Amino acid sequence: MNTPESSEPHSAPTLSAVAKLAGVSSITVSRVVRLPDLVAPRTRGRVEAAMKELGYVPNQLAGALASARTRSVGVLVPTIANSIFADTVQGLSDELEPLGYAVILAQSRYDAAREDHMLAALLSRRPEAIIMVGSPATDDGARLLRRAGIPVVETWEIPPAPIDAVAGFDNYQAGCAVARHLVAQGRQNLAFIGGDDPRATRRWNGFRDTALQAGIKPPRRLVLDRNASGSVVALADLPGVDAVFAANDANAIGFMSGLRAAGLLRTGPASEQPVALIGLGDLEMGRLIAPSLSTIRVHGDAIGRTAAKLMLTRSGPRHIDLGFELVLRDSG
């Protein structure tokens, strides 16, 4: 899906703008940034409120020439513990490193407050662009990015109101595709397992809505702990289930241990599986295990390469849907 080019990024708010809004001098704002203990609490509070309202991020490179290029790109991912995002970071790096850019990687760990903190930390290094998996979780994070004055690329998502550029796929439609397949198989008792982050929730919404439109009973949703991958306990929480869509392949592969323990996993074709199982991400392990894992294949490398190109130029479409594929194997 290509949509018209968005407007240019806003100019980054300045220290003097913060001073004006807070009703103090620029020197006072500088002290709040560098020596906050030397500023009266009430004054410091006014300055910090003004910084938050404007989306001002202190420049950690203030000693360098104002015109100097950092040749760096800030990249924010939910986690590096799950390799599902590795292809995107690799594709991005493959495009940018030959051009002399350094990639600065940070993790939000699916925590909104930490995401805001890491966005501010990345912006303080004055990168030439920010590329993130998903969209900002909070209004404060979105405000920081809109006012940063640099290209911003949201990935793994097609947000309704992008900040600048987008390279991703439709998570809602991915959920719809899985539900349509399972319903066509004759499955009646569907469930979704995974986290409750925005992208997983959109997959769940598409999965649920499509199942309800097909006239079967409402699917169940089991929210796993952020550090969980699926378990025997999860299976016990879903009595009678005959098909499961996992938010990602790691969740699906972990859930397989529960299916094996319950005797609900076979080495035959999908039609013989007591419980069908489909993941998302097309991890290599899912192709190698028995039975092989059905999955939604996301073009992670292409997402990363496209994000890099969107960062480097403002010509052409700014919102690019790279799609997905439903890959059917033995598990469902």
pLDDT band at 64; cut points 50, 70, 90: very low
Q: Does domain 2-169+301-327 have CATH number 3.30.530.20?
A: no
As given in the structure block, the two tokens for residue 225 are: 């702990």
Residue pointed to by tokens 């690799």: 90
Residue 60 pLDDT: 56
Quote the crossing angle between the two packed helices 112-124 and 139-146, to the nearest 10°: 20
Computed over every residue of the chain, the mean pLDDT equals 88
Q: 46 pLDDT exceeds 70?
A: yes
Nearest to 265 by CA among 254, 253, 276: 276
* Residue ranges, CATH 3.40.50.2300, the chain: 2-169+301-327, 171-298
Listed in sequence order, the DSSP H helices in the chain are 15-22, 26-34, 41-54, 86-96, 112-124, 139-146, 171-184, 198-213, 232-236, 249-261, 284-288, 300-312
Angstrom distance (rounded) from CA 219 to CA 277:
14
Tens of pLDDT, residue by residue over 198-252, are 999 999 999 999 999 999 999 999 998 765 554 556 677 888 999 999 999 999 9
pLDDT band at 68; cut points 50, 70, 90: low
Angstrom distance (rounded) from CA 4 to CA 54:
27
pLDDT band at 33; cut points 50, 70, 90: confident
CATH of 171-298, one of 3.40.50.2300, 1.10.1740.10, 3.10.580.10, 1.20.1260.10: 3.40.50.2300
pTM over 0.95: no
Residue 51 pLDDT: 83
Residue pointed to by tokens 């005797």: 263
Q: 2 pLDDT exceeds 70?
A: no
Give the Å distances, CA to CA, from 235 to 161, 200, 218, 277.
37, 19, 18, 12
